[in-house]
Homo-oligomer: A and B are copies of this chain.
Amino acid sequence: MKFCSHCAAPVTLRIPEGDNRPRYVCDACHSIHYQNPNIVAGCIPEWQDQILLCQRGIEPRFGLWTLPAGFMENGETALEAAERETHEEARANVRIESLYTVFNLPHINQVYMLFRARLLNLDFGAGNESLDVQLYQENDIPWDDLAFPVIKETLGLYFADRSTGGFRVHVGDIERLPGAPRRYRINMLNH
């Protein structure tokens, strides 16, 4: 951010009076421009003992597999966002059943909210941002070709819960550690 979106004057990054962290502040019209985390909403579409995965057709992680999910929009609920993203990315119709995982990704200012969902029929296919969409049995999940750690963690919890017959909400943090190669620290809040 370089310019004020209200009056076009240059902004400066400083701590406003009464605040405790740097913000983009306009010294001309006194606007403070807050920047806050975004919600990524999505779901695990279930069909009998299979789940639906999408092969990404866009960067990042082109060609890798993921659950349908995307940025929640103003004016909608997280459930509506998850259903909409599932329709956009997998051309699939789902009914959201329950919240399943909430993961904080503080290094990229995102909070994932992933729901369990029932796939309503087999009329699905690749949306604009997908190369392919497929139903997977647990034994066929492409664990080494999943797009994001949050997807791998969610699917790991899902199949573990399914094997014990008890699904519950899981809340945790996935934080990327500094340096290369990519490593992550995962902390779960016990319920």
Contacts and interface: CB of A to CB of B under 8 A. Distances in A.
B36 A74 contact: yes
Nearest to A173: B77
Contacts of A80: 106
Contacts of A6: 1-3
Copies per complex? 2
A166 interface: no
Interface residues of A, number: 46
Contact of A39 (B36, B75, B76, B190): B36
A189 interface: yes
Interface in A63-100: 71-80, 96, 98-99
B72 A36 contact: yes
B5 A2 contact: yes
Nearest to A104: B77
B79 A104 contact: yes
A48 B4 CA distance: 49
A54 interface: no
Contacts of A8: 2-3, 8
Given A8-B8, A77-B106, A99-B169, 10 more contacts: A3-B4, A3-B7, A18-B128, A34-B71, A36-B38, A36-B72, A37-B72, A37-B73, A77-B104, A99-B102
